[in-house]
Amino acid sequence: MNRVHEATARVLPPIHPRVWRHLAAYPLRARGFAPRGPRIGVTRLCLIWASWMFATASASAGPASSGPVELTTEARFDSVTVGQRFHVAYRFSFPDSLTQLIPGRIDEGTCRVVSIAWTEQLADHRIDRTADVTFIPVSLDSSVIPPNRFAFVAPAGDTVYAVSDTVEVPIRRIALDAKDARPLKEQWTLPPNYLLWALAGLGVLALAAGIVWWVRRRRARRTATTAPEVRLPPDIVALTELERIAGMGYVDRGEFKLYYTLVVDVVRRYLEARFGVEAMDRTSSELIREIQRHGAPVGDLGALLEEADLVKFAKLVPDRPAAAAAIERARTIVVDTTPPVETIAAAAGAGA
């Protein structure tokens, strides 16, 4: 059921300022004071007061067609919940000679304004205007929309006010009745899936077995004995290298510097491997003294190193037979400094 609140503009009859002055000065005269101005009798004052009260009562008795502005407040709800929208309509009826001042905002109280829709109709020189306001309550208790004052301007410039009624908004709480509440059921538990657990266990065992196998395989690789590296004797390596240099044709092409460098490097590497001395970075004289200190025969080593130094550094150009003989001198040095086979076998047996 909708509730309708009605309110009208309260327009009081004009009272002359002299009357108000005499009414205010009456208590002073009763105490013997005599303010300025003509006196008004008590009877006339009572008549003025009675007429003012009658005019006030007639102005607030309800909407009347003789009043300049009629305002009706309509609340279209019985009760609402928190957050539920409801509508309040402010209906105005006033002569078209008045101009309504549309308010910038409406006093919303403990509610919130969502939207305002204005509609109007003109008939018989009167304007029927409606403000449909949508509210939302924000209070958990009963909300109240306070009175709102609307202003109208007459052609003479006077302002007439119309005040709406207070709208109470009952808040309905949604609560479950105790008799409708059902007890909570026990929490449902999923039955165990034995097949799934068995598969998971097998997967874990397979993973563990794979890890064990991988660890053992890595350990076996680390501890496995590697085959001993086959190393040829230094004399075999040196003689092989000399044969390769002799077959590369350096002497025939006249590349004597490169030829002597390769031959001397083979001899130095052989002596380094045979006697354990630093042969590559020593000078010719230093190398000869180091070989003599080990008790090995020097032979043609000095002549070969001296001839190679002259070719490399002094730019000596030897003849082809002398260059070819350098290979033979290098072979002789390797063979002369190689120990006999019996000595090598005895040294190997002593080392074992």
Q: What is the pLDDT of residues 308-343, one digit of tens each?
A: 888 888 888 888 888 888 888 888 888 888 877 655
Whether the pLDDT of residue 84 is over 50: the answer is yes
Domain count, the chain: 3
Answer yes or no: is pLDDT of 296 > 90. no
Q: Which residues contact 210 (CB under 8 A, 6 or more apart)?
A: none
pLDDT at residue number 223 = 66
**Residues 87-101 pLDDT 10s:** 999 999 999 999 999
State which amino acid sits at residue 166.
T
**Beta-carbon contacts of residue 269 (< 8 Å; ≥ 6 apart):** 234, 237, 238, 279, 280
**Which residue bears the tokens 């306070």?**
146
* Domain match, 28 and 116 both: no
Q: Are 13 and 105 in a shared domain?
A: no
User: 4 pLDDT exceeds 80?
Assistant: no
Of residues 50, 51, 69, the one with CA closest to residue 11: 69
Is residue 27 very low, low, confident or very high in pLDDT (cuts 50, 70, 90)?
low
In a domain? residue 84: yes
In a domain, 191, yes or no: no
Tell me whether residue 243 is in a domain: yes
Statement: residue 152 has pLDDT above 90? yes
| Domain final residue, candidates 169, 195, 223 | 169
Average pLDDT over the chain, rounded to an integer: 77
Same structural domain, 75 and 162 = yes
Residue 274 domain-assigned (yes or no): yes
Strand blocks (E) in the chain: 3-8, 70-75, 86-95, 99-101, 111-123, 126-137, 143-145, 149-153, 159-163, 167-169
pLDDT at residue 47 in the model? 67
Residue 285 belongs to a domain: yes
Tokens of 8: 């009208």
pLDDT value at residue 340: 74
Q: 153, 169, 185: which is the final residue of a domain? A: 169
What DSSP state is assigned to residue 137?
E
| Pair (165, 261) in one structural domain | no
Q: Which domain covers residue 43, as residue numbers?
A: 9-59
115, 149, 169 - which closes a domain? 169
Does 202 fall in a domain? no
pLDDT number for residue 66: 36
Are residue 133 and residue 53 in the same domain, yes or no? no
106 contact partners, CB below 8 Å, separation of at least 6: 113, 116, 133, 148
Q: Which residues pair with 137 in a beta bridge?
A: 111
* CATH code of 74's domain: 2.60.40
